[in-house]
A = this chain, B = another copy of it.
Amino acid sequence: MNREPISELSKLCVHTITTKPWNINDAAKNYAASGVKGITVWRDALTGRNIRQTGQMLRDHDLSIVSLCRGGFFPNTDPEKRKLALDDNRKAIEEAFELGTQLIVLVCGADPAQSLEDSRKQIQEGIAELIPEASAAGIKLAIEPLHPMYADARSAINTLSQANDMTETLNSPWVGVAVDVYHLWWDPNLEKEIERCGKNNALLAFHICDWKTPTTDFLNDRGLVGEGCIPIRKIRTWVENAGFKGFHEVEIFSSRYWKMDQSEFLKQIITSYKNI
């Protein structure tokens, strides 16, 4: 039995990249004025800014800073590049700490020059190495399984089952999972794996958008919730039944929507969100 439509905004979070044309000040001001309660900050939105002050600015707008996007990209055939990736993840942990969020989302990475198994091994080693620093900073790390169409170069973790396996292997309170409907909606094991993730207390984030037919770009053609074929309410029901009480994060990459007036787009985000 699916839950009722949401109808109010107390759990609505928007990713800065969703309204990419806005800088983070404009995003914060507009989100807050529209009743959005949470913000997930993409690292590019912090470029050239004082991160601590930016975090304060967001809190001054009564926005919860849900997570920092994104760390990850661990695998590489070149050990030097793997080391650089780890350094960049350490920097992300510092940034998250300065910003005042308790979560980093990991797009784990993949290298088409090596096997998925090797990439997964490097992902696991990379996360394991970060746990002490994440723990010291009070930052959790969320493994985000990505759609299999990104298995070549963006993530060798392509199902929630794989993310759950890795979380269980790493067995740390600082490591969990981000569930994004765009990446996982097609998976026949999704309900079961969301339940498993909840039992592990590892369900750290819930990202929403929609899959349009046709989708014309591998990255930047996501839809507003309700615009596509993803059974978002059903998946939200599973996620909430698994004990998740966090934000519903609207994460839309869309060349089409980025061309729109962003205030108008934000209105559409809110209207569509209430109906999921």
A residues contacting B by CB (< 8 A) are 112-113, 115-116, 147-149, 151-153, 158-159, 161-162, 185-188, 211, 213-216, 218, 228-229, 231
With contact pairs A147-B149, A149-B147 given, residues A188 and B215 touching in the complex (Cβ less than 8 Å): no
How many copies of this chain does one complex carry? 2
Are the CB atoms of B149 and A149 closer together than 8 Å?
A: yes
With contact pairs A116-B186, A188-B159, A231-B115 given, residues A149 and B148 touching in the complex (Cβ less than 8 Å): yes
Are the CB atoms of A152 and B218 closer together than 8 Å?
A: no
Show 15 residue pairs from A and B whose CB-CB distance is below 8 angstroms, ordered by the A residue: A112-B213, A112-B228, A112-B229, A116-B188, A147-B148, A148-B148, A148-B187, A149-B215, A151-B186, A152-B213, A152-B215, A158-B188, A161-B188, A214-B218, A218-B218
Chain B residues, CB < 8 A from A185: 151
B148, B216, B218, B228: which contacts A215 (Cβ < 8 A)?
B218
With contact pairs A186-B116, A229-B112 given, residues A153 and B218 touching in the complex (Cβ less than 8 Å): no
In the complex, what's the smallest C-beta–C-beta distance from A235 to chain B, in angstroms? 12
Chain B residues, CB < 8 A from A115: 231
In the complex, what's the smallest C-beta–C-beta distance from A17 to chain B, in angstroms? 19
Are the CB atoms of A153 and B112 closer together than 8 Å?
A: no
Are the CB atoms of B188 and A153 closer together than 8 Å?
A: no
B147, B162, B214: which contacts A153 (Cβ < 8 A)?
B214
CA distance A113 to B214 in the complex (A): 13
The 6 closest A-B pairs by CB, nearest first: A112-B229, A151-B186, A148-B186, A149-B149, A112-B213, A152-B213
In the complex, what's the smallest C-beta–C-beta distance from A49 to chain B, in angstroms? 31
CA distance A147 to B187 in the complex (A): 11
CA distance A116 to B231 in the complex (A): 9
Q: Which among A112, A113, A147, A148 has the highest number of chain B CB atoms within 10 Å?
A: A148
CA distance A185 to B153 in the complex (A): 14
CA distance A7 to B213 in the complex (A): 42
Chain B residues, CB < 8 A from A113: 229
CA distance A190 to B220 in the complex (A): 29
